[in-house]
Amino acid sequence: MKKYFLTLLIGIYSVCLNAQLKPIEVILIGGQSNATGQGYMKNIPVDFHTNQSVLFYYSKWLNGGGKPTKWVSLCQASESPDRFGVELSLGTSLQNLWPDKKIALIKHALSGSDLYNLWNPGKNNKDTINFGKEYKKFIYTVETGLEQLRKKGYKPTIRAMVWQQGEADARDIAGMRNSYNYGKNLRHFIKRVRKQFDSKNMLFIYGYVIPVPLPRFTGREDVRLAQKNIDQNSNNPLALKNAFIINTDDLPLRCDEPNSPNPDDKVHFNTLGILELGKRFAKKINEYK
């Protein structure tokens, strides 16, 4: 009888505790250089204002305007503090679309990282020996970020992940086999991330890569076709529920940016391109909230 009442009290306590936790919508960010972000802080239009009410957590392998592995108000996080990724416009746009919700972003990305090796998610959660280096960093970042949110009194729900990656898998040095297998690998990656964080309904939003054909990207067509086929509405065997592709071919590139340090760069989105990409990610997430 005592054991029964003890169990009952624990159950009541858990219910009361969960009722006191504040709900928060979590969006994950991952990928390679266009996810890391090649926009420049100094070139952000004066009429763009970052929404400081959005919480942001980024990995210790990135440099930004706050402290890595600490929850801060939304700021930039890229390879260097003078650059930013989709986090600024993604978080700001989502907060405008969801004024009554609390929003948090968690980010890890690495320029030049491939899916077939560095982001390899293994066969299952226990297959850690086959986890790629960036996937391990990503898991660590997300798990520590979520744990800190809980300690702050929040009840986090992973609502979506945005992903901008594929250039490394399309490179000539990757080999045509890895380019051809991108669809299978991406499909597996999405399913694994959902399983890893027990978020089976998580939206997965991603953008097309390499808008301009370039000689070194010999697997470009294979990777872009794979991206198209993964989309929920593609009617292809690779199609995955709640996975959606974003058009990026019209976004301005670094070669288009005034006084660009990379005037020949036709791979990376520039300041305005990154801002628009974040807005498109937010719009798509909002369509399936």
Cβ-based neighbours of 164, under 8 Å, separated by 6 or more: 31, 32, 34, 35, 86, 109, 206, 207, 209, 277
Distance CA(157)–CA(95), nearest Å, equals 16
Q: Is residue 44 part of a domain?
A: yes
> Which pLDDT value is given to residue 18?
53
Report pTM.
0.93
- In angstroms, the Cα distances linking 170 to 127, 135, 194 are 26, 19, 25
Q: Is residue 12 part of a domain?
A: no
Three-state SS at 176? helix
Distance CA(197)–CA(129), nearest Å, equals 18
Q: Is residue 40 part of a domain?
A: yes
Residue 205's nearest CA partner among 146, 264, 245 is 245
> Which pLDDT value is given to residue 4?
52
Q: Is residue 140 part of a domain?
A: yes
Domain that holds residue 115: 24-287
> Which pLDDT value is given to residue 17?
44
Three-state SS at 177? helix
Number of independent structural domains in the chain = 1
Q: Is residue 168 part of a domain?
A: yes
Alpha-helix residue ranges (DSSP H) falling in 114-259: 133-151, 167-170, 176-180, 182-196, 220-230
User: For each successive 10 residues of the chain (289 residues), what is the average pLDDT?
Assistant: 50 51 98 97 97 98 97 98 98 98 98 98 94 98 98 98 98 97 98 97 97 97 98 98 98 93 94 98 94
> Which pLDDT value is given to residue 3?
53
Q: Is residue 11 part of a domain?
A: no
How is residue 96 written in tokens?
């405008």
Residue-wise pLDDT for 111-128, tens only, equals 999 999 999 999 999 999
CATH number, domain of 194, equals 3.40.50.1110
Q: What angle do CA 179, 182, 183 make, to 5 degrees?
A: 135
Among all chains, which residue has been given the structure tokens 């669809």? 183
Residue-wise pLDDT for 83-100, tens only, equals 999 999 999 999 999 999
Q: In what order do the strands lie in the sheet with 203-207?
A: 72-73, 55-58, 103-107, 22-31, 154-164, 203-207, 243-246
Q: Is residue 15 part of a domain?
A: no
Among all chains, which residue has been given the structure tokens 């990379």? 262
Q: Is residue 3 part of a domain?
A: no
- In angstroms, the Cα distances linking 82 to 31, 40, 87 are 19, 6, 14
